[in-house]
Amino acid sequence: MSESFQPVWCRPMYHCYTVPNDCGRRKWRSSSGRSVSGKVSTAPGWPSGWAFITLHGPQNPSPIPQATSSFCWSPQEGPLIMRLLFLAPSPPSPQTGGGALRMFHMVRFLGKRFDLDLVAPALEGAEAAERLLRGSCREMEFVPAGSESMARRFLRLGPYEKDPTLTDAIHRRLTSQCYSAVQVEKPAMLPYLPKDIRIPVILDTWAYGLAGPLRALRHEAGILARARNLLQVIRFSIFDACCWPVTSCILVVSEEDRIRCQQERPGRRVLVVPNGFDCSAVRPETPGNEGPPVILFTGDMGFPPNVDAALFLACRIFPEIRRVHPAVELWLVGRNPDPRLTRLAESSSGITVTGAVEDMVPYLHAATVYVAPHFTGAGTRTKLLEAMAAGLATVTTSIGIEGIEASHDQEVVIADDLPSLTTTVLRLLGNPQARIRLGTAARRLMEERYDWSRCLAPLETLYAELLPKRVVSW
């Protein structure tokens, strides 16, 4: 009678095998019926009962002839349950920005299908994540984060900080738990992986490539700011060229990112998992006519691309709008407002900076037009998806709409300079029918293509292909 085992690693397209609980050269039969032989040996530093199986030469079921593969296994009776490790650069939360929101929905999605452990630094949003994800995670560990000195930050060669406490926590888990795969959120978490990691690595990039740093370099004024951004571009370039580990799959948010990634990293598997929004969280609502018209912009108001957009909107676009519509108001809604925005609200009439709010829905329902004049940053902006789901007429730039397959003057209006942005906002403020048409089309697009249930569906197929299958010994 054969034993049942839980294999915890195999490369994509490899077969997995069960083995008796001893060491030595043995033969196995895969789920496809192919018989192979290999060496079973204990693994120094791994938990008691674990071993490595190394399959050699032509008997190795790798698509690469004469290749050698290894995977580790642990005896376990009963049904096969895959266990994933999810490494996050910040706590997944619906309240702390678009990246945290993406991670929050990914954890909920994967937690319904696998045993999932979450490890993240104990930053803002940790309490909310622990409360909201309790039913989605088998274990959650929020590691107190240390602070990097200015001198060490300047001398660091890589673009990403590597906290020693978080490093120890991740390595401890990888050497003491049976994980089938690890999902890494952002390249910033790649330095925390051991170089000899033996399980599939899935990297979620959020915004692939150097578009964001390069735009910041072109946009910034001042010698010090340009020097800082140039140093970051150099660091990112070196890291991207030399320090990426072997990954089983790279997740990107748009088709444009997929093409760029495959051109720069030929042979790598790349999968598009778009950003989305929970359309059930907000419903379109036509604002009443009792108050003044409101221009809305939302987001983390301390995030540099958002600060740039908010300043451009408040200092360049809004004064032109007010000359035609003196009663119009500008609301900048979001946490961590930059001091420049706070001072602007104090000194300028008609501008409101709210800071963090418990619920964004009332602000979306009160807005007349949503305006996001982005000229820096990269990736798909969740706040635009939120505004579109709320049925708001949305004005943005070509950079702002990146990753969202919306058409100009159908679901959104795209304008890339001050005159066209100003003209578009004025036109929409004076045309309720055009606002309703755009908002209705935007909501339809969200429901059909960008609800989280649709966006995350490719992950199920990905993990079904990557994770090992259970078989019996022969």
Domain match, 14 and 119 both:
no
At residue 201, what is the residue type? V
Domain match, 107 and 184 both:
yes
Starting at the earlier edge strand, list the strands of the sheet with 51-55.
5-7, 69-75, 51-55, 35-42, 24-29
> How far is it, in rounded angstroms, from Cα 389 to Cα 300?
19
How does the average pLDDT of the chain come out, rounded? Answer: 78
- The answer as to whether 360 is a domain residue is yes
Residue 444: its pLDDT value, please?
Answer: 96
Judge contact between 242 and 370, C-beta under 8 A. Answer: no
Confidence of residue 220 (pLDDT cuts 50, 70, 90): low
pLDDT over 80 at 36, yes or no: no
Confidence of residue 387 (pLDDT cuts 50, 70, 90): very high
pLDDT over 60 at 473, yes or no: no
pLDDT over 80 at 336, yes or no: yes
Q: How far is CA 256 from the centre of its chain?
A: 16
- The answer as to whether 458 is a domain residue is no
- The answer as to whether 9 is a domain residue is yes
pLDDT over 50 at 398, yes or no: yes
Mean pLDDT lowest among 206-220, 235-249, 277-291, 378-392:
206-220
User: What residues have CB less than 8 Å from 433, skipping those under 6 apart?
Assistant: none
- The answer as to whether 463 is a domain residue is no
Domain match, 244 and 347 both:
no
Residue 208: its pLDDT value, please?
Answer: 66
Residue 243: its pLDDT value, please?
Answer: 63
SS3 content of the chain, % helix, strand, coil (to 5): 40, 20, 45
Domain match, 401 and 302 both:
yes
Judge contact between 471 and 73, C-beta under 8 A. Answer: no
Total tally of structural domains belonging to the chain: 3
- pLDDT tens, residue by residue, 156-171: 555 567 888 999 999 9
Segment (H or E) for 165: helix 164-176
Residue range of the domain that includes 323:
279-451
- The answer as to whether 205 is a domain residue is yes
Domain match, 409 and 309 both:
yes
Question: What is the token pair recorded at 108?
Answer: 């909920």
Average pLDDT over residues 227-256: 75
Using the 8-state DSSP alphabet, how is residue 31 labeled? T
pLDDT over 60 at 41, yes or no: no
Domain match, 157 and 231 both:
yes
- The answer as to whether 460 is a domain residue is no
CATH number at residue 90: 3.40.50.2000
Closest-CA residue to 368 (of 279, 282, 447, 289):
289
Judge contact between 257 and 208, C-beta under 8 A. Answer: yes
**Angle, CA 459 vertex, CA 458 and CA 461 arms, to 5°:** 70
Residue 268: its pLDDT value, please?
Answer: 86
The top-scoring range by mean pLDDT among 18-22, 218-222, 276-280 is 276-280
User: What residues have CB less than 8 Å from 358, skipping those under 6 apart?
Assistant: none
pLDDT over 90 at 147, yes or no: no
- pLDDT tens, residue by residue, 113-129: 888 999 999 998 899 89
Higher pLDDT, 210 or 131: 131
The top-scoring range by mean pLDDT among 96-100, 179-183, 218-222, 392-396 is 392-396
CA distances from 90 to 116, 147, 168, 240 (A): 17, 14, 17, 21
- The answer as to whether 340 is a domain residue is yes
Is 128 strand, coil or helix? helix
> How far is it, in rounded angstroms, from Cα 28 to Cα 18?
7
Parallel, antiparallel or unpaired: strands 35-42 and 24-29: antiparallel
Burial class (CB in 10 A: 0-12, 13-18, 19+), 325: middle
Residue 48: its pLDDT value, please?
Answer: 40
Is 43 strand, coil or helix? coil
Mean pLDDT lowest among 46-55, 75-84, 362-371, 407-416:
46-55
Domain's final residue, options 228, 253, 273? 273
End-to-end C-alpha distance for the chain, whole angstroms: 10
Starting at the earlier edge strand, list the strands of the sheet with 413-414.
351-355, 329-333, 294-298, 369-372, 394-396, 413-414
Residue 215: its pLDDT value, please?
Answer: 66
Domain match, 406 and 294 both:
yes
> How far is it, in rounded angstroms, from Cα 94 to Cα 51?
40
- The answer as to whether 215 is a domain residue is yes
Domain match, 223 and 325 both:
no
> How far is it, in rounded angstroms, from Cα 100 to Cα 109?
14
What is Dmax (Cα atoms) for the chain? 85
Residue 324: its pLDDT value, please?
Answer: 94
Domain's final residue, options 273, 299, 317? 273
User: What residues have CB less than 8 Å from 272, skipping those under 6 apart?
Assistant: 251, 252, 253, 254, 255, 257, 258, 458
Domain match, 344 and 408 both:
yes
> How far is it, in rounded angstroms, from Cα 243 to Cα 187?
10
Give the predicted TM-score (pTM) of the model.
Answer: 0.75
HSE-up of residue 69 (Cα within 13 Å, Cβ side): 22
Domain match, 267 and 313 both:
no
Domain match, 66 and 163 both:
no
Average pLDDT over residues 270-299: 88
At residue 165, what is the residue type? T
- pLDDT tens, residue by residue, 203-214: 998 876 666 666
Domain's final residue, options 273, 302, 322? 273
Domain match, 339 and 219 both:
no
> How far is it, in rounded angstroms, from Cα 291 to Cα 82?
54
